[in-house]
A and B are shown apart, each in its own frame.
Chain A
C-alpha cells in the first residue's frame, strides 16, 4: 500500500484528527460520551492505520514494541494503584471519596474525589486498551506468511 500517494497523503491528514478525537474521548469522557476503552481503541486504530500505510518499521519507530508491551501492564497498574492509594489513604479499595484534596477545585479546575478517581481509572483503561490493541496488531503484522 506504500505506493499509492493518495492513501499516504490522506492518511497523514487524518491521523492527527483521529488522535485528537481519541484524546477528546479519553479526557472528556467524564462529561460526554466515551471513556477509556473507546479512547483506547480509537487511539490504537490511528496507530494501526499508520502501520498499514507506512509499514511496520515506521510505526515501530513511533510506538516501539518494547514500550507498548510495558504500557499494557502500566495501564492495569494505574487502575489498581488508584485503588491501593485509596486504601492507603484510609478508604476502601477503589473508594475515591478519600481522594479529596481541596486544591484548586473551583470550576473543576482540578478534579477531586470521585472525579479524580474516575479520571485516573479511565486513564489506566485507556493505556491498557491502546497498548493491547497495538500489540495484537504488531503480533499479526510481524509474522510472515506460511509458505505453501
Chain B
C-alpha cells in the first residue's frame, strides 16, 4: 500500500531534479526547487521524520524560494556592459565539451557509492549508531529527562546541548553577515535617493 505513495513521490523527485538541471529559465528553476523541497518534505514524513519535514517544508519550500525569487527580482534582467551576470546570460548552453565534467562527476559518484559499501546497512540493529551508547539514549532518556518523552529533543537540547548552542551561534552569525552585506545604511538612504532623483532630472 505504501508503495503507491512512495514510488510516485520518488519518481516526481527525480523528474523535478532533472527538470531543475535542464531548465534555462531561472524563475521556473526556482519554482521547481521549491517543488523539489516540498516533495522531499513529503518523503521525510513517510520516513517518520516529521520534524525534518517541518524544516524542509518551511525553509526549503517556503523561505528559500522567496529569497531566491527576491534575489532574481533584484538583479538586472539585461546583460550589462560592466560584465554583471543576468538570467539571459544563462540562456546559451556552454560551448565546451561536456565530456570532461561528465567523466569527473561519474568518477566522483562511483567513489562515493564505493564508500557507502563500508557503511552499515540501513536500519542495521548492529550498526555502531544503534550499539554505541550503552544503555542507549532511547532507554535512558526518559528517566534522565524527568519523564520527557521526546528522545530527539532530549538528544538535541540536553545530551548534545553544546552542539546546538554552536548551531544557534552559526545561525546568528549568518544572519548578521547577511545583514552586513545586504542592508542599506539608513544614513545613506536619504542622500542616495535624492541623488538618484536629481540624476534622473538632469
Contact = CB atoms under 8 A, between A and B. Distances in A.
A-B interaction: yes
A100 to B, nearest CB: 8
B165 interface: yes
Contacts of B78: 148
Interface residues of B, number: 49
A4 B174 CA distance: 35
Contacts, number: 156
Contacts of B31: none
A97 B122 CA distance: 35
A137 B66 contact: yes
A136 B177 CA distance: 10
A96 B54 contact: no
Contacts of A118: 145, 148, 153-154, 157-158
Contacts of B176: 72
A108 to B, nearest CB: 7
A139 interface: yes
A33 B50 contact: yes
Nearest to A76: B172
A41 B59 contact: yes
| A35, A111, A142 pick with most chain B CB within 10 angstroms | A35
A44 interface: yes
B165 A83 contact: yes
Given A41-B63, A96-B158, A132 B54 contact: no
B89 interface: no
Interface stretch (B3-11, B102-110, B179-187): B179-187
A146 B76 contact: yes
A25 to B, nearest CB: 7
- Please classify how large the interface on chain A is, using the bins under 10, 10 to 19, 20 to 34, 35 or more: 35 or more
A114 interface: yes
A35 B165 CA distance: 14
B171 interface: yes
Interface in A16-65: 25, 29-38, 41-42, 44-45, 48, 52
A113 B62 CA distance: 36
B66 A32 contact: no
Contacts of A94: 158, 161-162, 165
21 contacts: A25-B54, A41-B55, A72-B176, A79-B164, A94-B162, A114-B145, A114-B146, A114-B148, A118-B148, A121-B164, A124-B168, A129-B171, A131-B175, A132-B171, A135-B178, A136-B67, A136-B179, A137-B67, A139-B183, A142-B184, A145-B74
Given A32-B150, A118-B153, A140-B67, 13 more contacts: A29-B153, A35-B51, A38-B55, A42-B58, A45-B58, A45-B63, A79-B168, A111-B146, A114-B144, A117-B157, A128-B172, A133-B63, A139-B182
